[in-house]
Chain A
Amino acid sequence: MPDHMSDTIPFSAAPHVRLGSSSGQPITRRDGVLKVTGAATYAADNHPAGMLHAVIAVSTIARGRVASLDVAAAKAHPGVVEVITPANRPPLALDPDVKHGMFGFRFDALQNDRVRYAKQPIAVVVAQTLEAATEGARLLSPTYEIEPARIGFDGGEHFDPPMVSIGAPPNFDRGDLAAGLSAAAHLIDTHYETPAQYHNAMEPHAIVAEWDSDRLTIDTPNQAIVMMRGAFAEFFDVPAENVHLRSPFLGGGFGSKAIMAGPHILCILAARMLRRPVKLVLPRDQMYGPVGHRGATQQHLRLGLDAEGRLTALEHHALATTSSFDDFIEAAANASHNLYASPAISTRHRAVRVDIGTPGPMRAPGEASGSAALECALDEAAAACGIDPLEMRLRNYADIDPATGRPYSAKALRACYAQGAERFGWAGRPLAPRQMRCDAGHLIGWGMGSALFPAPMFQAEARATLRADGTALVETAGADMGQGAWTVLAQIAADGLGLDIEKIEFRSGSSDLPDGGVAGGSGHTATAGSALHNAGTDAIAKLAEIAANDPASPLFGTGNAGVEARNGRLYHRSDRSRSESYGDILARAGLATIEGNGKGGRDPAAAEARAMFSHGAVFAEVKVDPDLGQVRVTRLVGAFAAGRIINPRLARSQLYGGMIWGLSFALHEEAIHDRRSGRIINADLAGYHIPVHADIPEMEALLIDEDDPYVNGLGIKGVGEIGITGTVGAIANAIWHATGVRVRRFPIRIEDLIG
Chain B
Amino acid sequence: MPLSISLVVNGVRKDVVLEDPRVTLLDLLRERVGLTGTKKGCDRGQCGACTVLVDGRRINACLALAVSLDGADVLTIEGLAKGGQLDPVQAAFIAHDGFQCGFCTPGQIMSAVGLIREGEAGDDPERIREGMSGNLCRCGAYVGIIEAVRDARKQLAISANEDRRVA
Give the nearest-CB partner of A724 in chain B.
B140
Does A204 interact with chain B (Cβ within 8 Å)?
yes
Q: 15 A-B pairs, CB-CB below 8 angstroms?
A: A35-B105, A36-B90, A36-B105, A37-B90, A44-B30, A78-B19, A131-B19, A201-B103, A202-B41, A203-B39, A251-B104, A484-B100, A653-B97, A657-B139, A696-B142
Contact B140 A661 (CB under 8 A): yes
Within 8 A of A (CB), among B34-71: 34-44, 46-47, 49
Indicate with 1 or 0, residue by residue over A665-702, a CB within 8 angstroms of chain B CB atoms.
00000000000000000001110001111101001000
Within 8 A of A (CB), among B100-157: 100-106, 109, 125-126, 128-130, 132-147
Q: Which residues of A contact B91 (CB under 8 A)?
A: 36
Q: Which of A37, A251, A656 contacts B81 (CB 8 A)?
A: A37
Q: Give 11 A-B pairs besides A35-B99, A483-B100 with Cβ atoms closer than 8 angstroms.
A: A33-B86, A37-B86, A129-B19, A131-B19, A251-B102, A252-B138, A253-B101, A254-B138, A284-B43, A653-B139, A656-B140
Give, as a whole number of angstroms, the nearest-CB distance from A635 to chain B: 12
Contact A38 B49 (CB under 8 A): no
Q: Given contacts A33-B86, A35-B99, A252-B138, are A653 and B144 in contact (CB under 8 A)?
A: yes
Does A643 interact with chain B (Cβ within 8 Å)?
no
Q: Which of A36, A254, A657 contacts B109 (CB 8 A)?
A: A36
Q: Which residues of B contact A497 (CB under 8 A)?
A: none
Contact A690 B136 (CB under 8 A): yes
Does B23 interact with chain A (Cβ within 8 Å)?
yes
Q: Which of A79, A202, A693 contacts B145 (CB 8 A)?
A: A693
Contact B39 A42 (CB under 8 A): yes
Does B77 interact with chain A (Cβ within 8 Å)?
yes
Does B95 interact with chain A (Cβ within 8 Å)?
yes
Contact A652 B97 (CB under 8 A): yes
Indicate with 1 or 0, residue by residue over A120-136, a CB within 8 angstroms of chain B CB atoms.
00000000111110010
Give the nearest-CB partner of A39 in chain B.
B37
Does A482 interact with chain B (Cβ within 8 Å)?
yes
Does A41 interact with chain B (Cβ within 8 Å)?
yes
Q: Which residues of B contact A611 (CB under 8 A)?
A: none
Does A473 interact with chain B (Cβ within 8 Å)?
no
Give the nearest-CB partner of A484 in chain B.
B100
Q: Which of A45, A204, A649, A693 contacts B132 (CB 8 A)?
A: A693
The stretch of A24-32, A111-119, A137-145, A464-472 that contacts the partner chain: A24-32
Contact A657 B97 (CB under 8 A): no
Whole-angstrom distance between the alpha carbons of A130 and B26 in the complex?
A: 12
Q: Which residues of B contact A690 (CB under 8 A)?
A: 136, 138
A interface residues (Cβ-Cβ under 8 A, vs B)? 3, 6-7, 28-29, 31-42, 44-45, 47, 78-79, 128-132, 135, 200-204, 249-254, 281, 283-284, 480-484, 649-650, 652-654, 656-661, 684-686, 690-694, 696, 699
Contact A684 B42 (CB under 8 A): yes
Q: Which of B34, B97, B129 contacts A696 (CB 8 A)?
A: B129
Contact B31 A47 (CB under 8 A): yes
Q: Which residues of A contact B141 (CB under 8 A)?
A: 653, 656-657
Q: Which residues of A contact B163 (CB under 8 A)?
A: none
Residues of B within 8 Å of A, CB-based: how many? 63
Q: Which residues of B contact A35 (CB under 8 A)?
A: 99, 102, 105
Give the nearest-CB partner of B20 in chain A.
A131
Q: Which residues of B contact A38 (CB under 8 A)?
A: 35-38, 76-78, 106
Q: Which residues of B contact A204 (CB under 8 A)?
A: 40-41
Interface centre among A33, A37, A200, A203 (most CB of B within 10 A): A37
Interface centre among A31, A47, A202, A484 (most CB of B within 10 A): A202
Contact B102 A201 (CB under 8 A): no
Whole-angstrom distance between the alpha carbons of A691 and B141 in the complex?
A: 11
Whole-angstrom distance between the alpha carbons of A47 and B132 in the complex?
A: 31
Nearest first, the 4 A-B pairs at minimum CB distance are: A38-B37, A251-B103, A482-B101, A482-B100
Whole-angstrom distance between the alpha carbons of A699 and B101 in the complex?
A: 20
Does B22 interact with chain A (Cβ within 8 Å)?
yes
Give, as a whole number of angstroms, the nearest-CB distance from B108 to chain A: 9
Contact B102 A131 (CB under 8 A): no
Contact B97 A29 (CB under 8 A): yes
Contact B138 A284 (CB under 8 A): no
Whole-angstrom distance between the alpha carbons of A202 and B106 in the complex?
A: 12
Whole-angstrom distance between the alpha carbons of A402 and B40 in the complex?
A: 47
Give, as a whole number of angstroms, the nearest-CB distance from A468 to chain B: 30
Q: Which residues of B contact A652 (CB under 8 A)?
A: 97
Does B94 interact with chain A (Cβ within 8 Å)?
yes
Contact B31 A130 (CB under 8 A): yes
Q: Which residues of A contact B90 (CB under 8 A)?
A: 36-37
Contact A694 B130 (CB under 8 A): yes
Whole-angstrom distance between the alpha carbons of A132 and B136 in the complex?
A: 29
Whole-angstrom distance between the alpha carbons of A480 and B81 in the complex?
A: 25
Give, as a whole number of angstroms, the nearest-CB distance from B83 to chain A: 13
Does B16 interact with chain A (Cβ within 8 Å)?
no
Contact B42 A284 (CB under 8 A): yes
Give the nearest-CB partner of B93 in chain A.
A36
Q: Which residues of B contact A251 (CB under 8 A)?
A: 39, 101-104
Contact A685 B46 (CB under 8 A): yes
Contact A202 B103 (CB under 8 A): yes
Interface centre among A32, A33, A481 (most CB of B within 10 A): A32
Whole-angstrom distance between the alpha carbons of A613 and B20 in the complex?
A: 57
Whole-angstrom distance between the alpha carbons of A506 and B27 in the complex?
A: 33
Give, as a whole number of angstroms, the nearest-CB distance from A50 to chain B: 14
Q: Which of A29, A203, A483, A660 contacts B103 (CB 8 A)?
A: A203
Whole-angstrom distance between the alpha carbons of A690 and B135 in the complex?
A: 11
Does B80 interact with chain A (Cβ within 8 Å)?
yes
Within 8 A of A (CB), among B73-88: 76-78, 80-81, 86
Contact A649 B78 (CB under 8 A): no
Contact A202 B22 (CB under 8 A): no
